[in-house]
């Protein structure tokens, strides 16, 4: 019980430099780099050891700002609220001057894009598991490993021009690959608010997409069958704002505008999504969630300025981190599980070291 | 026998008169006391059985023989003689001789035994009625030439005590009246005057007794004795005396005498003595009957009991209705103070008044009208009265059906409610009366059923009317009455759905005394309220305060509940010990990855230690928005949908305003407007409305103090604007009052503002100097050079301080008289009262147009609360500006406003109180010299205004129904007198200076004309 008395730790470092709300952040898969995007369109690269800005660039229109940042080994994908998604090559000491690819999605809202998440078992250096698409609709998961090769994350899922649709784009060719749902039936669930694309081993590497909607419902799509979702569940009463699938792709968490965080299990073979645990919060609003790659703990970024850390397996609370003094927009773990970063509307990025992974 | 009687009697009478004449003659001729004794004895022996030997020791030989030799007549003869002696003129003649001549000449020489046996015997064993009638007039005998008046009086007093008190003479009188009635068919016309005459004489004894008379003749002891004697008639052994009379249901003489005597005693103001004897006896009687009967008593038991007869009839024998009323009142009060039980009290009332109220309407109406509507009794008495006179059944609950008397009950209730609901009653009746009648209404409603309510037509209507007009009252007590009655009434309509208009009355039993007269109960709140209400017309603020208290108490409860709620779900979040059962987890997570789960489970166990939770306590202090700019505050206050934002803004508003930033002047008006319009009740959590309200008010006060002119402009505009409601108007006035007071006693440190007003030099001071907070007039800081040590780490500063205010005023004035300007300045600095500068801004706009009826604004009639507050605020303003020239200027228009008929004779006591307060403030605030000059210069407004204050206050003190108004008016009159005194002194000194310096040229009127100081009626020449 003495551990109960421990004060929650302070951030190990605070990265200051943004002049506007930090909207999203992403760790580099293996380099000590952190990419952050702010609402004035600035993308910053930080050295997470020296805690310094490596470079900074205005990558999107300042008026619209950056909605989301994702990072693979060689590329950074930034999503602006100006209707574009841009890919930038990571060069020495910064980014390429011009984006290698620019996708005009014409979607202007704040649903964050999602790269495809692969089960960790597959993603550990196992190269060359290839899934050829049988027909034009089939999606090849990835030809290359996300972590090692840039081609790995070939696809990106974003909210579409029709706000209730999810579009999947090919990052290399800047072509739209698929839309979900395929037939524009008119979103009865409202806008799509959160997307998580993943590729569970059970579905032979074909893309699966978990989408959270405005009315609190969550749909699970398999790209092979874009007409009908695998399953539809509704855990939340308010818009789902954040989805995260764990490393094994067997479960995930969701955060919403209501006062709940839901832990659920995913069973691709059965196509079922079952609620495991519901965590009730004191104050509503979770704008981002992140499960640590080792699946031990997860963190939530709350509207109430708090970053909360939970035991992923049990769902019990571990820490309430009070540092930010404005809404937290994003939280993310580094691939080596050692660092956690949180970005907030107060323009700061905080780095935390909690529960270091035992090796 | 019939024929013979009178005949022999007249013969005997003649003979007796002869004897009496002889005896008198002998005494007159007598040279020695023994001769006198012999003479008396010769007469006494005819009338009384005397034992001569008792006398013999005291007298000399010759007489002794004479006495012993005198033969005694037989018993029958003696009886005849006795009858004749007392029945005829003989006794009165002889008694007068005995009492006057003998007493003044011889009695002092009588040996004790002789006095007893030959002198006192005539009175002690005489016919008591006659004795009394003869004795009493002698008490007031005025002295003749050779009479020793003192001796006569003291002897008479002695005899009275002996006859009436020691020998139960009064009881004997009563019996004699009874006897006369029994023996013959006596004519009532004769008896009644006789009875009342004797009773009158008996009752007058204490008044007629001399100052030096023995204490047993003092009214208290004497009446007590008389009462005791007469009450012995009620006891069993005496009841046979009364029997015959009751069968005829007529008064017999005894009872008539008792009744008459009781009435006289009551009339003479000794009703308490009377009842202190009656109550124990009747109570004992009732108790013995109650204890001997197990089942509930019925009236028959009382009727048939012989001892009850006296009680059943005694009141009927009292013909004096005023005495009956006094006695009943006193009876109720004393029973209440004895803490008699309801049942006992009921039967006591029943015994005494049941029979008489059947015959006499006046008694019935005394109970059902006078005692319910016009008198004020303790609540328990009220309950008894209702039970006895209205419900007419013993308080056994359900034992008796309501039966025939519901008609009476409903009529009375209707009457009660009709009175209760009148607005005039609420406005003009004293508080005690209102409380009492409310209690009567409430208690009778408690006895009422729904069906009965349906029978009556107006009751519901009247009650609703009464409740609604009470709920508007500024007096907390009156509102409470309304809510209590409403609660009872709602229970009549639907017992399951009581209506609580007030948080405080939640109990099942209502306090119908409203905490007024129960000292045991902790009602400090209410009593405080009353107390303060007397000092101060702000009764409503105190009652608000009190409400706060109660509300806070209930807050405590509700927040407890809340915290409980929170706790009930917090553990889910917090409890680190909570374990999700792995079995259910497994079950939930599907069947096919069991192994996987188990594996990670086991791996988890190893790493479990690393996942110890941190301290999970959390509070939301940091979540509250912080405001640092007044503009933000205004913006946040306007967003009425963001309750948290408004609350936070309210929290910081005062502090920000007090900091008095530069932009305050520009924001003030906006801020005032938004603050007034914020709906505190909407945004606050239930139960915390008051704190929000409080913050709002403090912020407004701060605004008014730091930035008066701008804020006042807006506030005054808002005050009469139709867009705000009564509560906001009242709030505005409260805020202005508080701000005025704060401005007047500015000791609060507000550096910038203070400096701006007092001096401007401070801004130029260097930062490293100590701050110049301190008494005004202090000199600038100077560094003390300390040349001794080279290393000078500490800088020391000094400055000149002015001496204490009191010191400045005294002694130095003469010295400084030349540079008076300087002194003036010093005085201004010394005065911290910053209010006078703003007094006009505070008062004049508010005084404008108070009497105009506009949309949503009707101060004179509907919104009289606002009017009262307004007057109070103006009064406080006057007080705050006291002794300053501004006060003198503002006094005239203010008095003018108070003089308007609508205010000074307002229907509501609340407004009158406020006006009295304001008038007192004016009296206090005027400088005597100003009053004096205005008299000299013929400033009509002021002088007539002040005179009006006096007459008006006197008028209120004489005629106002409200007690608080009365006391305030008295205080006002007193203040006026003091002011008049001061003014006349000022006038005198002015006169004397004018004598000295005639050449300066004072107003000529002073030297020529006559000045009437209006308040003292002293003419000055």
Determine, yes or no, domain membership for A28. yes
Average pLDDT rounded to a whole number, residues B484-501: 82
**A98 CB-contact burial (10 Å; exposed 0-12 / middle 13-18 / buried 19+):** exposed
Alpha carbon of B647 to those of B638, B668, B692, B695, B724: distances in Å? 11, 19, 7, 9, 21
Give how far B613 is from chain A: nearest CA, Å: 4
User: Above 60 in pLDDT, residue B602?
Assistant: no
Structure tokens at B773: 């907070």
Q: How far apart are CA A262 and CA A242, in angstroms?
A: 11
Highest mean pLDDT among A181-185, B306-310, B615-619, B977-981: B977-981
A322–B618: do the CB atoms touch at under 8 Å? yes
pLDDT, mean over chain A: 85
Average pLDDT rounded to a whole number, residues B556-575: 40
- Per-residue model confidence (pLDDT) at position B845: 87
Determine, yes or no, domain membership for A331. yes
- Per-residue model confidence (pLDDT) at position B782: 55
User: Does residue A112 sit in the same domain as residue A258?
Assistant: yes
User: Above 60 in pLDDT, residue B578?
Assistant: no
A5–B580: do the CB atoms touch at under 8 Å? no
CA Rg value for chain A: 19
* pLDDT tens digits, B203-217: 888 888 777 777 888
User: Above 50 in pLDDT, residue B753?
Assistant: no
Structure tokens at B298: 């019925």
* pLDDT tens digits, B145-191: 667 777 888 888 888 888 888 888 888 888 887 765 544 444 556 77
Least confident of A262-266, B386-390, B427-431, B588-592: B588-592
Q: What percent of chain B has pLDDT over 90?
A: 3
Q: Which long-range contacts (CB under 8 A, 24 or more apart) does B665-671 make?
A: B665/B707, B665/B710, B667/B630, B667/B631, B667/B634, B668/B703, B668/B707, B668/B710, B668/B711, B668/B714, B669/B710, B669/B711, B669/B713, B669/B714, B670/B634, B671/B630, B671/B633, B671/B634, B671/B637, B671/B699, B671/B703
User: Above 50 in pLDDT, residue B254?
Assistant: yes
Determine, yes or no, domain membership for A244. yes
CATH class of the structural domain B548-589+623-751+822-834: mainly alpha
Task: Write out chain A residues lying below 8 Å of B572, CB-based.
Answer: 279-280
A322 part of contact set with chain B, CB < 8 Å: yes
Q: Using an 8 Å Cβ cutoff, are A84 and A103 in contact? A: yes
- Domain of A204: which CATH number? 2.130.10.10
DSSP state letters, B810-838: TTHHHHHGGGHHHHHHHHHHH----HHHH
User: Above 60 in pLDDT, residue B373?
Assistant: yes
Q: What percent of chain B has pLDDT over 70?
A: 70
* pLDDT tens digits, B515-557: 655 443 333 333 343 344 334 444 343 344 344 444 444 444 4
**B159 CB-contact burial (10 Å; exposed 0-12 / middle 13-18 / buried 19+):** buried
* pLDDT tens digits, B714-737: 888 888 888 888 888 888 999 999
User: Does residue A84 sit in the same domain as residue A169?
Assistant: no
B585–A276: do the CB atoms touch at under 8 Å? yes
User: Does residue A166 sit in the same domain as residue A211?
Assistant: yes
Task: Write out chain B residues lying below 8 Å of A249, CB-based.
Answer: none
- Per-residue model confidence (pLDDT) at position B931: 85
- Per-residue model confidence (pLDDT) at position A85: 93
- Per-residue model confidence (pLDDT) at position B1012: 44
- Per-residue model confidence (pLDDT) at position A242: 94
pLDDT band at B375; cut points 50, 70, 90 = confident
A359 part of contact set with chain B, CB < 8 Å: no
- Per-residue model confidence (pLDDT) at position B590: 41
Q: Using an 8 Å Cβ cutoff, are B699 and B653 in contact? A: yes
B589–A277: do the CB atoms touch at under 8 Å? no
User: Does residue A196 sit in the same domain as residue A185?
Assistant: yes
User: Does residue A114 sit in the same domain as residue A254?
Assistant: yes
User: Does residue A112 sit in the same domain as residue A197?
Assistant: yes
Average pLDDT rounded to a whole number, residues A232-248: 92
Structure tokens at B600: 């990670």
pLDDT, mean over chain B: 73
User: Omega of the bond prior to A291 within 30 degrees of 0, cis?
Assistant: no
User: Above 80 in pLDDT, residue B631?
Assistant: yes
User: Does residue A190 sit in the same domain as residue A260?
Assistant: yes
- Per-residue model confidence (pLDDT) at position A357: 84
Neighbours of B506 (CB within 10 A): 11
Residue with tokens 């012999």: B38
Q: How far apart are CA B548 and CA B527, in angstroms?
A: 16
B620–A304: do the CB atoms touch at under 8 Å? yes
pLDDT band at B798; cut points 50, 70, 90 = low
A250 part of contact set with chain B, CB < 8 Å: yes
- β-pairing, A192-198 vs A114-117, is parallel
User: Does residue A112 sit in the same domain as residue A254?
Assistant: yes
Angle at B232 between CA B227 and CA B234, to 5 degrees: 105
Q: Using an 8 Å Cβ cutoff, are B173 and B191 in contact? A: no
The more confident residue out of A204 and A156 is A156
* pLDDT tens digits, B178-196: 765 544 444 556 777 888 8
Strand order across the beta sheet in which A306-311 lies? A286-291, A297-302, A306-311, A317-322
- Per-residue model confidence (pLDDT) at position A56: 92
* Inter-axis angle of helices B236-247 and B308-317, nearest 10: 60
A265 part of contact set with chain B, CB < 8 Å: yes
Strand order across the beta sheet in which A348-352 lies? A13-16, A348-352, A340-344, A328-333
In chain B, domain spans: 1-167, 403-520, 548-589+623-751+822-834, 858-1020
User: Does residue A257 sit in the same domain as residue A335?
Assistant: no
- Per-residue model confidence (pLDDT) at position A112: 93
**Chain A, nearest residue to B626 by Cα:** A325
Average pLDDT rounded to a whole number, residues A327-348: 94
Q: How far apart are CA B510 and CA B244, in angstroms?
A: 49
pTM of the model: 0.54
User: Does residue A75 sit in the same domain as residue A185?
Assistant: no
Determine, yes or no, domain membership for A75. yes
Neighbours of A138 (CB within 10 A): 17
Q: Using an 8 Å Cβ cutoff, are B393 and B343 in contact? A: no
Residues A54, A59, A64, A70: is their CA dihedral positive or negative? Answer: negative
Q: Three-state SS string across A50-95, please?
A: CCEEEEEEECCCCCCCEEEEEECCCEEEEEECCCEEEEEEEECCEE
Task: Provide the domain count of chain A.
Answer: 2
B610–A355: do the CB atoms touch at under 8 Å? yes
Element of type H or E holding A306: strand A306-311
* pLDDT tens digits, B766-776: 444 444 455 54
| Closest-CA residue to B731 (of B769, B782, B690, B770) | B690
pLDDT band at B507; cut points 50, 70, 90 = low
In terms of residues, how long is chain A?
Answer: 359
* pLDDT tens digits, A135-150: 433 344 433 334 434 4
Query: What is the distance between the terminal CA atoms of chain B, rounded to a whole angstrom?
Result: 94
Residue with tokens 């954040």: A242
Q: How far apart are CA B674 and CA B728, in angstroms?
A: 12
User: Above 70 in pLDDT, residue A328?
Assistant: yes
Residues 6+ apart with CB under 8 A from B119: B40, B98, B102, B107, B110
Q: How far apart are CA B712 and CA B621, in angstroms?
A: 35
Phi–psi pair at B801, nearest 5 degrees:
-110, 145
Average pLDDT rounded to a whole number, residues B101-123: 78
Determine, yes or no, domain membership for A317. no
**Chain A, nearest residue to B588 by Cα:** A276
User: Does residue A112 sit in the same domain as residue A191?
Assistant: yes
Q: How far apart are CA B831 and CA B529, in angstroms?
A: 34
Structure tokens at A286: 């979770």
B600–A313: do the CB atoms touch at under 8 Å? yes
Residues 6+ apart with CB under 8 A from B242: B178, B233, B252, B254, B255, B309, B310, B313
Buried b or exposed e, range B862-879, using 16+ CB within 10 angstroms:
ebbbbbbbbbbbbbbbbb
* pLDDT tens digits, A68-122: 999 988 899 999 999 999 999 988 778 888 898 999 988 888 899 999 888 865 4
Residues B1013, B1016, B1017, B1021: is their CA dihedral positive or negative? Answer: negative
A6–B614: do the CB atoms touch at under 8 Å? yes
User: Above 80 in pLDDT, residue B401?
Assistant: no
pLDDT band at B502; cut points 50, 70, 90 = low
User: Above 50 in pLDDT, residue B355?
Assistant: yes
Least confident of A81-90, B280-289, B402-411: B402-411
User: Above 50 in pLDDT, residue B583?
Assistant: no
What is the CA B698 to chain-centroid distance, rounded? 35
**Chain B, nearest residue to A275 by Cα:** B588
- Could you say which of B580, B592, B622 has the minimum Cβ distance to residue A305? B622
Residues 6+ apart with CB under 8 A from B577: none
Q: What percent of chain A has pLDDT over 90?
A: 53
Domain that holds residue A17: 10-104+299-306+326-358
Q: How far apart are CA B730 and CA B662, in angstroms?
A: 30
Q: How far apart are CA B792 and CA B770, in angstroms?
A: 17
Least confident of B6-10, B744-748, B1011-1015: B1011-1015
- Report ipTM (2 d.p.): 0.79
Q: How far apart are CA B239 and CA B842, in angstroms?
A: 80
User: Does residue A258 sit in the same domain as residue A335?
Assistant: no
């Amino acid at each position: 019980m003495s551990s109960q008395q421990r004060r929650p730790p302070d951030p190990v470092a605070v990265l200051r430099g943004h002049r506007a709300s930090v909207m999203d952040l992403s760790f580099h898969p293996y380099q000590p780099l952190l990419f952050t995007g702010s609402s004035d369109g600035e993308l910053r690269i930080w050295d997470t050891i020296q805690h310094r800005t490596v470079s900074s660039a205005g990558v999107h229109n300042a008026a619209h700002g950056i909605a989301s940042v994702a990072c693979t080994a060689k590329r950074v994908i930034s999503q602006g609220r100006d209707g574009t998604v841009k890919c930038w090559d990571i060069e020495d000491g910064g980014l390429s001057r011009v984006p290698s690819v620019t996708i005009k999605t014409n979607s202007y809202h704040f649903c964050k894009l999602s790269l495809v998440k692969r089960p960790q078992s597959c993603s550990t250096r196992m190269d060359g598991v290839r899934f050829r698409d049988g027909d034009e609709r089939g999606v090849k998961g990835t030809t290359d490993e996300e972590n090692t090769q840039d081609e790995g994350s070939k696809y990106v899922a974003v909210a579409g021009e029709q706000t209730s649709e999810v579009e999947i784009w090919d990052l290399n060719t800047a072509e739209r690959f698929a839309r979900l749902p395929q037939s524009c039936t008119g979103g009865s669930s409202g806008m799509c608010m959160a997307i998580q694309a993943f590729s569970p081993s059970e579905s032979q590497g074909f893309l699966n997409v978990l989408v959270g909607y405005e009315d609190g419902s969550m749909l699970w799509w398999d790209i092979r069958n874009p007409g009908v979702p695998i399953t539809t569940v509704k855990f939340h009463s308010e818009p789902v704002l954040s989805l995260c699938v764990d490393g094994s792709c067997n479960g995930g968490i969701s955060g919403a505008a209501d006062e709940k965080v839901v832990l659920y299990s995913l069973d691709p073979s059965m196509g079922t999504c079952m609620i495991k645990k519901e965590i009730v919060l004191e104050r509503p609003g979770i704008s981002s969630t992140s499960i640590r790659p080792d699946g031990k703990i997860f963190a939530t970024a709350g509207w109430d300025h708090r970053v909360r850390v939970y035991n992923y397996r049990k769902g019990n609370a571990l820490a309430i981190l009070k540092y930010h003094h404005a809404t937290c927009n994003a939280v993310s773990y580094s691939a080596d599980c050692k660092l956690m970063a949180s970005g907030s509307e107060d323009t700061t990025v905080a780095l935390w070291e909690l529960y270091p992974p035992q090796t | 026998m019939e024929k013979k009687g009178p005949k022999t009697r007249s013969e005997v009478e003649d003979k007796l008169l002869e004897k009496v004449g002889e005896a008198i003659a002998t005494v007159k001729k007598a040279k020695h006391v023994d001769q006198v004794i012999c003479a008396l004895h010769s007469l006494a022996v005819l009338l009384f059985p005397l034992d001569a030997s008792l006398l013999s020791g005291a007298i000399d030989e010759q007489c002794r023989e004479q006495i012993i030799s005198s033969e005694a007549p037989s018993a029958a003869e003696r009886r005849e003689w006795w009858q004749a002696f007392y029945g005829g003129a003989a006794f009165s003649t002889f008694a007068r001789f005995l009492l006057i001549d003998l007493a003044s000449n011889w009695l002092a020489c009588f040996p004790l035994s002789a006095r007893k046996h030959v002198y006192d015997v005539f009175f002690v064993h005489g016919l008591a009625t006659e004795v009394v009638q003869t004795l009493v007039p002698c008490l007031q005998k005025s002295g003749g030439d050779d009479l020793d008046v003192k001796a006569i009086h003291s002897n008479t007093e002695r005899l009275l005590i002996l006859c009436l008190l020691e020998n139960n003479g009064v009881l004997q009188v009563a019996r004699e009246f009874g006897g006369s009635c029994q023996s013959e068919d006596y004519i009532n016309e004769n008896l009644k005057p006789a009875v009342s005459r004797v009773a009158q004489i008996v009752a007058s004894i204490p008044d007629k007794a001399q100052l030096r008379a023995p204490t047993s003749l003092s009214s208290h002891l004497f009446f007590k004795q008389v009462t005791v004697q007469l009450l012995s008639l009620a006891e069993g052994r005496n009841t046979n005396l009364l029997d015959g009379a009751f069968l005829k249901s007529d008064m017999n003489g005894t009872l008539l005498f008792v009744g008459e005597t009781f009435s006289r005693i009551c009339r003479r103001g000794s009703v308490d003595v009377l009842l202190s004897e009656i109550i124990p006896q009747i109570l004992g009687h009732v108790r013995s009957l109650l204890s001997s009967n197990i089942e509930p008593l019925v009236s028959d038991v009382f009727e048939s009991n012989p001892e009850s007869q006296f009680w059943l009839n005694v009141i009927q024998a009292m013909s004096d209705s005023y005495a009956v009323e006094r006695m009943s009142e006193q009876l109720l009060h004393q029973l209440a103070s004895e803490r008699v039980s309801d049942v006992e009290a009921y039967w006591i009332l029943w015994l005494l008044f049941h029979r008489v109220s059947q015959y006499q309407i006046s008694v019935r109406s005394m109970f059902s009208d006078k005692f319910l509507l016009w008198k004020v009794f303790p609540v328990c008495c009220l309950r008894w009265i209702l039970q006895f006179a209205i419900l007419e059944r013993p308080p056994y609950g359900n034992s008796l059906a309501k039966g025939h008397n519901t008609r009476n009950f409903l009529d009375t209730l209707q009457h009660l409610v009709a009175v209760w609901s009148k607005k005039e009653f609420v406005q003009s009746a004293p508080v005690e009366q209102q409380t009492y009648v409310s209690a009567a209404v409430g208690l009778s409603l408690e006895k009422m059923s729904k069906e009965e309510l349906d029978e009556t037509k107006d009751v519901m209507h009247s009650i609703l009317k009464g409740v609604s007009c009470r709920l508007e009252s500024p007096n907390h007590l009156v509102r409470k009455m309304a809510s209590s009655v409403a609660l009872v009434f709602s229970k009549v309509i639907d017992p399951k759905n009581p209506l609580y208009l007030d948080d405080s009355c939640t109990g099942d039993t209502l306090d119908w005394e409203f905490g007024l007269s129960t000292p045991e109960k902790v009602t400090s709140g209410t009593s405080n309220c009353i107390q303060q209400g007397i000092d101060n017309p702000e009764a409503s603020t105190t009652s608000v305060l009190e409400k706060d208290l109660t509300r806070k108490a209930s807050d405590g409860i509700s927040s407890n509940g809340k915290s409980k709620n929170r706790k009930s779900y917090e553990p889910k979040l917090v409890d680190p010990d909570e374990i999700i059962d792995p079995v259910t987890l497994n079950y939930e997570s599907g069947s096919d990855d069991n192994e996987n789960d188990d594996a990670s489970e086991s791996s988890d166990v190893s790493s479990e230690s690393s996942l110890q939770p941190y301290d999970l306590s959390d509070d939301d202090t940091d979540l509250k928005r912080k405001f640092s700019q007044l503009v933000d505050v205004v913006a946040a206050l306007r967003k009425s949908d963001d309750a948290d934002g408004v609350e936070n803004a309210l929290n910081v508003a005062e502090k920000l305003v007090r900091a008095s930033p530069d932009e305050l002047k520009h924001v003030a008006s906006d801020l005032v407007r938004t603050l007034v319009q914020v709906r505190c009740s909407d945004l606050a959590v239930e139960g915390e409305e008051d704190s929000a309200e409080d913050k709002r008010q403090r912020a407004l006060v701060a605004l008014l103090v730091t930035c008066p002119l701008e804020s006042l402009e807006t506030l005054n505009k808002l005050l009469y604007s139709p867009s705000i409601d009564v509560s906001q108007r009242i709030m505005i006035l409260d805020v202005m009052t508080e701000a005025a007071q704060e401005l007047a006693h500015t000791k609060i440190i507000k550096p910038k503002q203070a400096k701006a007003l007092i001096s401007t030099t401070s801004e130029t001071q260097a930062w490293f100097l100590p701050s110049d907070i301190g008494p005004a007039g202090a000199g600038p800081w100077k560094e003390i050079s300390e040349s001794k040590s080279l290393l000078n780490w500490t800088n020391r500063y000094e400055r000149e301080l002015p001496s204490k205010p009191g010191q400045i005023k005294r002694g130095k004035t003469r010295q400084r008289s030349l540079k008076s300007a300087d002194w003036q300045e010093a005085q201004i600095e010394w005065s911290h009262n910053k209010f006078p500068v703003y007094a006009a801004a505070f008062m004049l706009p508010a005084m404008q147009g108070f009497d105009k009826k506009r949309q949503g604004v009707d101060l004179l009639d509907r919104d009289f609360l606002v009017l009262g507050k307004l007057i109070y605020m103006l009064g406080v303003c006057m007080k705050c500006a006291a002794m300053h020239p501004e006060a003198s200027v503002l006094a005239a228009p203010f008095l003018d406003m108070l003089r308007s008929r609508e205010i000074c004779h307002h229907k509501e006591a609340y407004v009158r109180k406020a006006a009295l307060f304001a008038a007192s403030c004016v009296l206090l605030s005027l400088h005597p010299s100003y009053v004096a000059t205005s008299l000299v210069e013929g400033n009509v407004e002021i002088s007539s205004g002040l005179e009006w204050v006096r007459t008006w206050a006197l008028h209120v003190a004489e005629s106002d129904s409200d007690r608080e108004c009365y006391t305030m008016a008295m205080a006002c009159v007193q203040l006026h007198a003091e002011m008049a005194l001061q003014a006349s002194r000022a006038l005198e000194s002015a006169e004397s200076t004018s004598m000295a310096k005639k050449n300066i040229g004072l107003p000529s009127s002073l030297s020529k004309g006559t000045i009437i100081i209006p308040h003292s009626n002293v003419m000055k020449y």
